[in-house]
Amino acid sequence: MSGDRAILHVDMDAFFASVEVREQPQLRGLPVLVGGAGRRGVVAAASYEARKFGCRSAQPMAVALRLCPQAVVVPPRHALYTEVSRAVFAVFERFSPLVEGLSIDEAFIDLAGTERLWGPPRGVAEALRVAVHQEVGLTCSVGLACVKFLAKIASGMNKPDGLTEIPAGTELEFLTPLPIGELWGVGPRTQEKLQRRGVHTVGDLRRLGEAALVEMFGAHGLHMHRLSLALDERAVVPDRAAKSLGHEDTYADNVVGVPALRRCLLSQATRVADRLVAQGLKARCVCLKIRDGDFVTETRQCTLPRATDDYRELHAAACRLLEAVETEGRGFRLTGVSVTHFEAPEREVQLDLLAPASEPPPKSAALQAVLSAVRERHGHQALFPAEAGSERRLGDTGAITHSRPNEPAKRRR
Ligand code: TTP
Ligand code: MG
Ligand code: MG
Protein backbone atom coordinates (compact mmCIF):
# COMPACT_ATOMS: atom_id res chain seq x y z
CA MET A 1 0.00 0.00 0.00
CA SER A 2 1.31 3.44 -0.79
CA GLY A 3 3.27 4.87 2.10
CA ASP A 4 2.65 1.56 3.87
CA ARG A 5 -0.76 2.64 5.01
CA ALA A 6 -3.48 0.03 5.27
CA ILE A 7 -6.88 1.26 6.30
CA LEU A 8 -10.04 -0.78 6.68
CA HIS A 9 -13.52 0.62 6.45
CA VAL A 10 -16.05 -1.75 7.98
CA ASP A 11 -19.81 -1.31 7.67
CA MET A 12 -22.40 -3.75 9.02
CA ASP A 13 -24.86 -5.15 6.50
CA ALA A 14 -28.48 -3.94 6.84
CA PHE A 15 -27.57 -3.33 10.46
CA PHE A 16 -30.89 -2.82 12.32
CA ALA A 17 -32.63 -5.41 10.15
CA SER A 18 -29.82 -7.96 10.62
CA VAL A 19 -29.96 -7.53 14.40
CA GLU A 20 -33.70 -8.19 14.31
CA VAL A 21 -33.18 -11.30 12.19
CA ARG A 22 -30.55 -12.51 14.64
CA GLU A 23 -33.00 -12.00 17.50
CA GLN A 24 -35.95 -13.56 15.65
CA PRO A 25 -34.56 -16.38 13.49
CA GLN A 26 -37.98 -17.02 11.94
CA LEU A 27 -37.39 -13.79 9.97
CA ARG A 28 -34.33 -15.16 8.18
CA GLY A 29 -34.69 -15.06 4.41
CA LEU A 30 -37.74 -12.78 4.55
CA PRO A 31 -38.00 -9.16 3.43
CA VAL A 32 -37.72 -7.22 6.72
CA LEU A 33 -38.26 -3.51 7.21
CA VAL A 34 -37.27 -1.88 10.49
CA GLY A 35 -39.08 1.37 11.10
CA GLY A 36 -42.27 3.08 12.14
CA ALA A 37 -45.36 1.30 10.89
CA GLY A 38 -47.68 4.32 11.11
CA ARG A 39 -48.86 6.38 8.17
CA ARG A 40 -45.90 8.69 8.53
CA GLY A 41 -43.42 5.93 9.36
CA VAL A 42 -40.02 5.82 7.68
CA VAL A 43 -37.81 2.82 6.88
CA ALA A 44 -34.67 2.85 9.03
CA ALA A 45 -33.23 -0.37 7.60
CA ALA A 46 -34.27 -2.85 4.94
CA SER A 47 -32.97 -6.42 4.75
CA TYR A 48 -31.29 -7.37 1.48
CA GLU A 49 -34.32 -9.53 0.66
CA ALA A 50 -36.48 -6.38 0.88
CA ARG A 51 -34.01 -4.37 -1.22
CA LYS A 52 -34.65 -6.65 -4.19
CA PHE A 53 -38.08 -5.01 -4.30
CA GLY A 54 -36.60 -1.52 -4.20
CA CYS A 55 -37.01 -0.92 -0.45
CA ARG A 56 -34.43 1.43 1.08
CA SER A 57 -33.50 3.30 4.27
CA ALA A 58 -35.18 6.70 4.61
CA GLN A 59 -38.07 5.68 2.35
CA PRO A 60 -41.59 6.34 3.63
CA MET A 61 -42.89 3.05 5.02
CA ALA A 62 -46.01 3.40 2.87
CA VAL A 63 -43.88 3.46 -0.29
CA ALA A 64 -41.80 0.49 0.85
CA LEU A 65 -44.94 -1.54 1.55
CA ARG A 66 -46.35 -0.69 -1.84
CA LEU A 67 -43.14 -2.06 -3.40
CA CYS A 68 -43.13 -5.12 -1.17
CA PRO A 69 -46.50 -5.77 0.48
CA GLN A 70 -45.34 -9.07 2.02
CA ALA A 71 -42.51 -7.38 3.97
CA VAL A 72 -42.41 -7.92 7.74
CA VAL A 73 -42.34 -4.57 9.54
CA VAL A 74 -40.44 -4.52 12.83
CA PRO A 75 -40.46 -1.51 15.17
CA PRO A 76 -36.94 -0.27 15.98
CA ARG A 77 -35.21 -1.11 19.28
CA HIS A 78 -32.45 1.44 19.53
CA ALA A 79 -31.08 0.35 22.90
CA LEU A 80 -30.51 -3.12 21.48
CA TYR A 81 -28.69 -1.77 18.39
CA THR A 82 -26.45 0.38 20.59
CA GLU A 83 -25.56 -2.65 22.67
CA VAL A 84 -24.77 -4.74 19.57
CA SER A 85 -22.75 -1.84 18.17
CA ARG A 86 -20.60 -1.85 21.32
CA ALA A 87 -19.97 -5.57 20.92
CA VAL A 88 -18.96 -5.07 17.28
CA PHE A 89 -16.60 -2.21 18.15
CA ALA A 90 -15.06 -4.33 20.92
CA VAL A 91 -14.12 -6.87 18.22
CA PHE A 92 -12.65 -4.10 16.02
CA GLU A 93 -10.52 -2.85 18.89
CA ARG A 94 -8.90 -6.23 19.35
CA PHE A 95 -7.41 -5.91 15.87
CA SER A 96 -6.02 -2.39 16.22
CA PRO A 97 -6.10 0.40 18.80
CA LEU A 98 -6.78 2.86 15.98
CA VAL A 99 -10.54 2.55 15.55
CA GLU A 100 -12.52 5.59 14.48
CA GLY A 101 -16.29 5.18 14.65
CA LEU A 102 -18.27 6.98 11.94
CA SER A 103 -21.73 5.89 12.93
CA ILE A 104 -23.45 3.16 14.90
CA ASP A 105 -22.46 0.49 12.36
CA GLU A 106 -19.24 1.60 10.73
CA ALA A 107 -15.66 2.44 11.51
CA PHE A 108 -12.25 3.06 10.04
CA ILE A 109 -9.51 0.83 11.39
CA ASP A 110 -5.89 1.75 10.78
CA LEU A 111 -3.75 -1.38 10.56
CA ALA A 112 -0.48 0.53 10.86
CA GLY A 113 1.90 -1.43 13.02
CA THR A 114 -0.34 -4.49 13.33
CA GLU A 115 1.46 -6.51 10.68
CA ARG A 116 3.87 -8.15 13.09
CA LEU A 117 0.99 -9.34 15.26
CA TRP A 118 -1.62 -10.15 12.66
CA GLY A 119 0.13 -10.54 9.32
CA PRO A 120 -0.73 -8.83 6.02
CA PRO A 121 -3.78 -6.52 5.91
CA ARG A 122 -5.96 -8.70 3.70
CA GLY A 123 -5.68 -11.58 6.14
CA VAL A 124 -6.55 -9.19 8.99
CA ALA A 125 -9.65 -8.06 7.13
CA GLU A 126 -10.73 -11.67 6.65
CA ALA A 127 -10.03 -12.57 10.28
CA LEU A 128 -12.01 -9.56 11.43
CA ARG A 129 -15.01 -10.56 9.34
CA VAL A 130 -14.90 -14.08 10.76
CA ALA A 131 -14.58 -12.77 14.33
CA VAL A 132 -17.56 -10.41 13.95
CA HIS A 133 -19.65 -13.20 12.51
CA GLN A 134 -18.70 -15.79 15.12
CA GLU A 135 -18.92 -13.51 18.13
CA VAL A 136 -21.77 -11.18 17.25
CA GLY A 137 -23.64 -13.27 14.70
CA LEU A 138 -23.75 -10.59 11.99
CA THR A 139 -22.11 -10.00 8.64
CA CYS A 140 -20.23 -6.89 7.62
CA SER A 141 -18.58 -5.57 4.48
CA VAL A 142 -15.00 -4.40 4.47
CA GLY A 143 -12.97 -2.13 2.22
CA LEU A 144 -9.19 -2.18 2.33
CA ALA A 145 -7.09 0.58 0.80
CA CYS A 146 -4.18 2.90 1.45
CA VAL A 147 -6.35 5.92 2.31
CA LYS A 148 -9.62 6.55 4.10
CA PHE A 149 -11.87 7.66 1.30
CA LEU A 150 -10.91 4.72 -0.93
CA ALA A 151 -11.49 2.22 1.89
CA LYS A 152 -14.93 3.72 2.40
CA ILE A 153 -15.86 3.49 -1.26
CA ALA A 154 -14.49 -0.07 -1.41
CA SER A 155 -16.56 -1.35 1.51
CA GLY A 156 -19.74 -0.44 -0.36
CA MET A 157 -18.77 -2.22 -3.56
CA ASN A 158 -19.52 -5.81 -2.61
CA LYS A 159 -22.29 -5.56 -0.08
CA PRO A 160 -23.49 -7.62 1.68
CA ASP A 161 -20.81 -9.81 3.25
CA GLY A 162 -18.05 -8.60 0.94
CA LEU A 163 -14.38 -7.81 1.12
CA THR A 164 -12.98 -5.40 -1.44
CA GLU A 165 -9.32 -4.61 -1.60
CA ILE A 166 -7.84 -1.85 -3.70
CA PRO A 167 -4.32 -3.19 -4.09
CA ALA A 168 -1.46 -0.71 -3.94
CA GLY A 169 -0.74 0.71 -7.36
CA THR A 170 -4.28 0.18 -8.70
CA GLU A 171 -5.88 3.19 -6.98
CA LEU A 172 -5.99 5.44 -10.04
CA GLU A 173 -7.35 2.69 -12.26
CA PHE A 174 -10.05 2.02 -9.65
CA LEU A 175 -11.01 5.70 -9.37
CA THR A 176 -11.03 6.60 -13.07
CA PRO A 177 -14.51 5.29 -14.02
CA LEU A 178 -16.28 6.32 -10.78
CA PRO A 179 -18.89 9.08 -10.94
CA ILE A 180 -17.60 12.31 -9.35
CA GLY A 181 -20.35 12.19 -6.72
CA GLU A 182 -18.48 9.29 -5.08
CA LEU A 183 -15.74 11.66 -3.95
CA TRP A 184 -16.10 13.06 -0.45
CA GLY A 185 -17.19 16.65 -0.34
CA VAL A 186 -18.48 16.76 -3.92
CA GLY A 187 -22.01 17.97 -3.36
CA PRO A 188 -24.80 18.48 -5.89
CA ARG A 189 -23.77 22.08 -6.71
CA THR A 190 -20.20 21.11 -7.46
CA GLN A 191 -21.39 18.15 -9.50
CA GLU A 192 -23.65 20.37 -11.56
CA LYS A 193 -20.89 22.86 -12.24
CA LEU A 194 -18.47 20.11 -13.22
CA GLN A 195 -20.98 18.38 -15.43
CA ARG A 196 -21.43 21.61 -17.37
CA ARG A 197 -17.72 21.32 -18.13
CA GLY A 198 -18.21 17.73 -19.32
CA VAL A 199 -16.77 16.22 -16.15
CA HIS A 200 -18.70 13.11 -15.14
CA THR A 201 -16.13 10.67 -13.81
CA VAL A 202 -13.16 10.95 -11.50
CA GLY A 203 -10.99 10.33 -14.57
CA ASP A 204 -12.56 13.37 -16.29
CA LEU A 205 -11.88 15.42 -13.17
CA ARG A 206 -8.24 14.39 -13.11
CA ARG A 207 -7.88 15.24 -16.80
CA LEU A 208 -9.41 18.67 -16.29
CA GLY A 209 -6.33 19.33 -14.19
CA GLU A 210 -5.38 21.12 -11.04
CA ALA A 211 -5.17 24.62 -12.50
CA ALA A 212 -8.67 24.56 -14.00
CA LEU A 213 -10.13 23.10 -10.81
CA VAL A 214 -8.46 25.71 -8.64
CA GLU A 215 -9.73 28.41 -10.96
CA MET A 216 -13.27 27.04 -10.67
CA PHE A 217 -13.38 26.14 -6.98
CA GLY A 218 -10.31 27.57 -5.23
CA ALA A 219 -8.84 25.36 -2.53
CA HIS A 220 -11.81 23.02 -2.74
CA GLY A 221 -10.76 22.33 -6.34
CA LEU A 222 -7.27 21.48 -5.18
CA HIS A 223 -8.74 19.11 -2.60
CA MET A 224 -10.86 17.36 -5.25
CA HIS A 225 -7.90 17.07 -7.57
CA ARG A 226 -5.89 15.43 -4.80
CA LEU A 227 -8.68 12.96 -4.15
CA SER A 228 -8.82 12.12 -7.86
CA LEU A 229 -5.14 11.14 -7.49
CA ALA A 230 -6.00 8.96 -4.47
CA LEU A 231 -4.25 11.44 -2.15
CA ASP A 232 -6.00 11.75 1.20
CA GLU A 233 -3.82 12.37 4.22
CA ARG A 234 -6.62 12.23 6.78
CA ALA A 235 -5.58 10.10 9.71
CA VAL A 236 -7.73 7.55 11.48
CA VAL A 237 -8.51 9.33 14.74
CA PRO A 238 -9.23 6.77 17.42
CA ASP A 239 -12.27 7.27 19.64
CA ARG A 240 -10.63 5.79 22.68
CA ALA A 241 -8.25 7.99 24.62
CA ALA A 242 -8.86 10.73 22.09
CA LYS A 243 -10.91 13.01 24.24
CA SER A 244 -11.75 16.24 22.53
CA LEU A 245 -12.20 19.78 23.64
CA GLY A 246 -14.03 22.26 21.52
CA HIS A 247 -16.31 25.19 21.09
CA GLU A 248 -19.15 25.59 18.63
CA ASP A 249 -21.75 28.26 17.97
CA THR A 250 -25.14 28.19 16.31
CA TYR A 251 -26.10 31.40 14.53
CA ALA A 252 -29.50 33.00 14.37
CA ASP A 253 -28.76 34.09 10.78
CA ASN A 254 -26.80 31.89 8.41
CA VAL A 255 -23.18 32.95 7.99
CA VAL A 256 -22.27 33.50 4.35
CA GLY A 257 -18.86 33.90 2.75
CA VAL A 258 -15.35 32.86 3.68
CA PRO A 259 -14.29 36.10 5.47
CA ALA A 260 -17.27 35.92 7.84
CA LEU A 261 -16.71 32.20 8.43
CA ARG A 262 -13.05 32.84 9.21
CA ARG A 263 -14.07 35.39 11.82
CA CYS A 264 -16.37 32.82 13.42
CA LEU A 265 -13.52 30.31 13.48
CA LEU A 266 -11.19 32.84 15.03
CA SER A 267 -13.56 33.35 17.91
CA GLN A 268 -13.81 29.59 18.40
CA ALA A 269 -10.09 28.90 17.99
CA THR A 270 -9.40 31.53 20.65
CA ARG A 271 -11.86 29.93 23.06
CA VAL A 272 -10.32 26.52 22.50
CA ALA A 273 -6.81 27.92 23.01
CA ASP A 274 -7.95 29.59 26.26
CA ARG A 275 -9.17 26.28 27.56
CA LEU A 276 -6.07 24.39 26.46
CA VAL A 277 -3.87 26.89 28.26
CA ALA A 278 -6.11 26.79 31.32
CA GLN A 279 -5.79 23.00 31.44
CA GLY A 280 -2.10 22.97 30.64
CA LEU A 281 -2.61 21.00 27.46
CA LYS A 282 -1.48 21.17 23.87
CA ALA A 283 -3.25 19.38 21.05
CA ARG A 284 -2.13 17.93 17.74
CA CYS A 285 -5.38 17.33 15.90
CA VAL A 286 -7.73 20.12 14.85
CA CYS A 287 -11.28 19.46 13.73
CA LEU A 288 -13.64 21.80 11.93
CA LYS A 289 -17.37 21.21 12.13
CA ILE A 290 -19.72 23.12 9.91
CA ARG A 291 -23.46 22.80 9.31
CA ASP A 292 -25.33 24.51 6.53
CA GLY A 293 -28.86 25.89 6.40
CA ASP A 294 -30.14 22.51 5.17
CA PHE A 295 -28.63 20.82 8.24
CA VAL A 296 -25.94 19.08 6.20
CA THR A 297 -23.06 18.72 8.63
CA GLU A 298 -19.48 18.25 7.53
CA THR A 299 -16.34 17.71 9.54
CA ARG A 300 -12.73 17.98 8.48
CA GLN A 301 -9.67 17.32 10.52
CA CYS A 302 -5.95 17.59 10.25
CA THR A 303 -2.89 16.77 12.27
CA LEU A 304 -0.41 19.53 13.07
CA PRO A 305 3.34 19.01 12.85
CA ARG A 306 3.53 19.61 16.60
CA ALA A 307 1.10 20.04 19.46
CA THR A 308 -0.07 23.58 20.12
CA ASP A 309 -2.18 25.75 22.41
CA ASP A 310 -1.74 28.86 20.26
CA TYR A 311 -4.95 30.37 18.93
CA ARG A 312 -3.22 31.56 15.76
CA GLU A 313 -2.08 28.06 14.87
CA LEU A 314 -5.50 26.63 15.67
CA HIS A 315 -7.20 29.35 13.63
CA ALA A 316 -4.86 28.84 10.68
CA ALA A 317 -5.53 25.10 10.73
CA ALA A 318 -9.31 25.62 10.93
CA CYS A 319 -9.13 28.05 7.98
CA ARG A 320 -7.15 25.54 5.94
CA LEU A 321 -9.81 22.94 6.71
CA LEU A 322 -12.48 25.43 5.67
CA GLU A 323 -10.83 25.69 2.27
CA ALA A 324 -11.79 22.08 1.63
CA VAL A 325 -15.49 22.82 2.23
CA GLU A 326 -17.82 23.86 -0.57
CA THR A 327 -18.79 27.33 0.67
CA GLU A 328 -20.09 28.90 -2.51
CA GLY A 329 -23.83 29.44 -2.53
CA ARG A 330 -24.21 28.04 0.99
CA GLY A 331 -25.10 29.70 4.26
CA PHE A 332 -23.98 28.11 7.51
CA ARG A 333 -25.93 27.84 10.74
CA LEU A 334 -23.17 26.34 12.87
CA THR A 335 -19.41 26.33 13.01
CA GLY A 336 -17.14 24.71 15.56
CA VAL A 337 -13.50 24.09 16.25
CA SER A 338 -12.32 21.22 18.40
CA VAL A 339 -9.02 19.59 19.18
CA THR A 340 -7.90 16.07 20.09
CA HIS A 341 -4.66 14.22 20.71
CA PHE A 342 -3.45 16.11 23.71
CA GLU A 343 0.04 16.35 25.00
CA ALA A 344 0.54 17.57 28.52
CA PRO A 345 3.50 19.89 29.17
CA GLU A 346 4.22 17.65 32.18
CA ARG A 347 5.97 15.44 29.70
CA GLU A 348 8.54 18.12 29.04
CA VAL A 349 8.92 18.64 32.77
CA GLN A 350 9.49 14.94 33.32
CA LEU A 351 12.14 14.92 30.63
CA ASP A 352 13.83 17.84 32.32
CA LEU A 353 13.87 15.91 35.57
CA LEU A 354 16.33 13.56 33.94
CA ALA A 355 18.78 16.45 33.67
CA PRO A 356 21.70 16.69 36.14
CA ALA A 357 20.55 17.34 39.70
CA SER A 358 22.56 20.55 39.93
CA GLU A 359 20.10 22.30 37.61
CA PRO A 360 17.20 24.13 39.27
CA PRO A 361 13.89 22.27 39.22
CA PRO A 362 12.09 23.42 36.10
CA LYS A 363 8.54 23.04 37.33
CA SER A 364 8.00 26.52 38.80
CA ALA A 365 9.67 28.18 35.84
CA ALA A 366 7.50 26.24 33.43
CA LEU A 367 4.41 27.08 35.42
CA GLN A 368 5.38 30.71 35.55
CA ALA A 369 5.89 30.83 31.81
CA VAL A 370 2.47 29.36 31.21
CA LEU A 371 0.82 31.74 33.65
CA SER A 372 2.48 34.76 32.07
CA ALA A 373 1.49 33.56 28.66
CA VAL A 374 -2.07 33.16 29.83
CA ARG A 375 -2.11 36.66 31.27
CA GLU A 376 -0.46 38.18 28.28
CA ARG A 377 -2.57 36.43 25.72
CA HIS A 378 -5.87 35.92 27.44
CA GLY A 379 -5.73 38.30 30.39
CA HIS A 380 -8.86 40.24 29.62
CA GLN A 381 -11.47 40.92 27.03
CA ALA A 382 -9.44 43.74 25.43
CA LEU A 383 -6.80 41.25 24.42
CA PHE A 384 -9.20 39.36 22.22
CA PRO A 385 -7.56 39.37 18.79
CA ALA A 386 -8.42 42.40 16.71
CA GLU A 387 -8.78 40.27 13.57
CA ALA A 388 -12.00 38.94 15.06
CA GLY A 389 -13.66 42.16 14.04
CA SER A 390 -15.98 44.28 16.08
CA GLU A 391 -18.54 41.61 16.78
CA ARG A 392 -19.28 40.81 20.37
CA ARG A 393 -17.27 37.87 21.48
CA LEU A 394 -19.40 34.79 21.27
CA GLY A 395 -19.44 33.30 24.66
CA ASP A 396 -22.33 32.44 26.84
CA THR A 397 -24.46 31.40 23.89
CA GLY A 398 -21.84 29.06 22.51
CA ALA A 399 -21.97 25.38 23.26
CA ILE A 400 -18.89 23.92 24.77
CA THR A 401 -18.24 20.39 23.72
CA HIS A 402 -16.09 18.11 25.75
CA SER A 403 -16.68 14.69 24.45
CA ARG A 404 -15.54 11.84 22.34
CA PRO A 405 -14.99 13.18 18.85
CA ASN A 406 -17.04 10.56 17.09
CA GLU A 407 -20.09 9.71 19.08
CA PRO A 408 -21.62 6.62 17.54
CA ALA A 409 -24.82 7.11 15.59
CA LYS A 410 -23.95 10.62 14.46
CA ARG A 411 -24.47 10.58 10.75
CA ARG A 412 -23.19 13.03 8.23
CA ARG A 413 -26.54 13.54 6.64
P1 TTP B 1 -26.27 2.06 6.92
O2 TTP B 1 -24.96 1.43 7.21
O3 TTP B 1 -26.30 3.23 6.02
O4 TTP B 1 -27.25 1.01 6.27
P5 TTP B 1 -27.48 -0.49 6.64
O6 TTP B 1 -26.49 -1.00 7.61
O7 TTP B 1 -28.91 -0.68 7.05
O8 TTP B 1 -27.32 -1.21 5.24
P9 TTP B 1 -25.95 -1.41 4.40
O10 TTP B 1 -25.80 -2.90 4.28
O11 TTP B 1 -26.22 -0.77 3.09
O12 TTP B 1 -24.86 -0.78 5.17
O13 TTP B 1 -26.96 2.48 8.26
C14 TTP B 1 -26.79 1.75 9.48
C15 TTP B 1 -28.06 1.78 10.28
O16 TTP B 1 -28.42 3.13 10.58
C17 TTP B 1 -29.25 1.20 9.56
O18 TTP B 1 -29.33 -0.22 9.72
C19 TTP B 1 -30.39 1.92 10.21
C20 TTP B 1 -29.83 3.28 10.56
N21 TTP B 1 -30.27 4.27 9.56
C22 TTP B 1 -31.41 5.01 9.82
O23 TTP B 1 -32.02 4.88 10.88
N24 TTP B 1 -31.83 5.91 8.87
C25 TTP B 1 -31.21 6.07 7.67
O26 TTP B 1 -31.64 6.89 6.85
C27 TTP B 1 -30.03 5.31 7.41
C28 TTP B 1 -29.30 5.44 6.12
C29 TTP B 1 -29.61 4.41 8.38
MG1 MG C 1 -24.47 -0.61 7.26
MG1 MG D 1 -23.24 2.57 7.93
Residue 381 has pLDDT above 80, yes or no: no
Is the CB of residue 81 below 6 angstroms from any atom belonging to ligand 1? no
Mean of per-residue pLDDT scores for the chain:
83
Q: Does residue 394 fall inside a structural domain?
A: yes
User: Where among 133, 168, 203 does a domain terminate?
Assistant: 168
Which pLDDT score is estimated for 168?
94
Say if residue 41's pLDDT is above 60. yes
**DSSP 8-state assignment for residue 55:** -
In a domain, 126, yes or no: yes
Residue 411 lies in a domain: no
Mean pLDDT, residues 130-135 taken together: 98
Local confidence band at 351 (pLDDT 50, 70, 90 cut-offs): very low
Is the per-residue pLDDT at 359 higher than 50? no
Q: Is residue 410 a part of any domain in this protein?
A: no
CATH number, domain with residue 380: 3.30.1490.100
Residue 236 belongs to a domain = no
Is residue 391 part of the annotated active site? The answer reads: no
Which of the two residues, 117 and 68, has the higher pLDDT score? Answer: 68
Domain shared by 32 and 147, yes or no? yes
In a domain, 58, yes or no: yes
Considering the domain architecture, whether residues 106 and 52 belong to the same structural domain is answered as yes
Q: Of 43, 202, 102, give the one whose Cα is nearest residue 409.
A: 102
Based on the fold, state whether residues 91 and 145 are members of the same structural domain. yes
Q: Based on the fold, state whether residues 176 and 303 are members of the same structural domain.
A: no
Do 124 and 215 have their domain in common? no
CATH of the domain at 176: 1.10.150.20
Q: Which residue has the higher pLDDT, 104 or 351?
A: 104
| Claim to verify: residue 278 and residue 307 sit in the same structural domain | yes
Beta carbons within 10 angstroms of residue 383's beta carbon: 12
> Which residue in the list 20, 49, 100, 106 is annotated as catalytic?
106
Q: What is the mean pLDDT of residues 10-30?
A: 98
At residue 394, the pLDDT reads: 37
Give residue 160's pLDDT: 98
- The yes-or-no verdict on residue 109 having pLDDT over 80 is yes
Question: Global pTM?
Answer: 0.64
Q: Is 32 in the pocket of ligand 1 (CB under 6 A)?
A: no
> Does residue 265 have its Cβ closer than 6 Å to ligand 1?
no
**245-256 β-sheet, strand order:** 297-308, 282-292, 331-343, 245-256, 399-401
CATH number, domain of 144, equals 3.30.70.270
Whether residue 373 is found in the same domain as residue 396? yes
| Section 84-111 average pLDDT | 92
CA dihedral sign of residues 82, 241, 141, 179: positive
49 CA to middle of ligand 2, Å?
A: 15
Percent of the chain residues topping a pLDDT of 70? 81
Higher pLDDT, 235 or 50: 50
Structural domain count of the chain: 3
Using alpha carbons only, give the angle 212, 263, 221 rounded to the nearest 5 degrees.
15
Q: What is the mean pLDDT of residues 260-288?
A: 91
Instruction: List the single range of 95-99, 172-176, 362-366 with lowest mean pLDDT.
Output: 362-366
279 shares its domain with 298: yes
Q: Mean pLDDT: which of 6-15, 180-189, 239-248, 344-353 is highest? A: 6-15
Please indicate, yes or no, whether residues 190 and 163 belong to a single structural domain of this protein: no
Ranking 14-18, 83-87, 370-374 by mean pLDDT, the lowest is: 370-374
Residue 388 has pLDDT above 80, yes or no: no
Reported as a pLDDT band with limits 50, 70 and 90, residue 240 is low
Q: Which domain holds residue 127?
A: 1-168
Residues 90, 142 within the same domain: yes
| Lowest mean pLDDT, pick from 9-18, 33-42, 132-141 | 33-42
Residues 269 and 387 in one domain: yes
What is the best residue among 32, 102, 105 to mutate for testing ligand 1's pocket, by most ligand atoms within 8 Å of CB?
Answer: 105
**22 plus 8 within the same structural domain:** yes
H or E segment and range at residue 255: strand 245-256
Q: Which of 160, 194, 228 is the last residue of a domain?
A: 228
In a domain, 70, yes or no: yes
Lowest-pLDDT range, 75-84, 226-235, 337-346, 361-370? 361-370
CB 65 within 8 A of CB 113: no
Domain boundary (136, 152, 168) is at 168
In a domain, 185, yes or no: yes
What angle, rounded to 10 degrees, do the helices at 311-323 and 219-228 form? Answer: 70
Instruction: Confirm or deny that 292 is annotated as ligand binding.
Output: no
Confidence of residue 40 (pLDDT cuts 50, 70, 90): confident
Q: How far apart are CA 313 and CA 95, in angstroms?
A: 34
Give dist(CA 341, CA 238) in Å, integer.
9
Distances (CA, A) of 199 to 12, 53, 73, 160, 231: 33, 32, 42, 31, 19
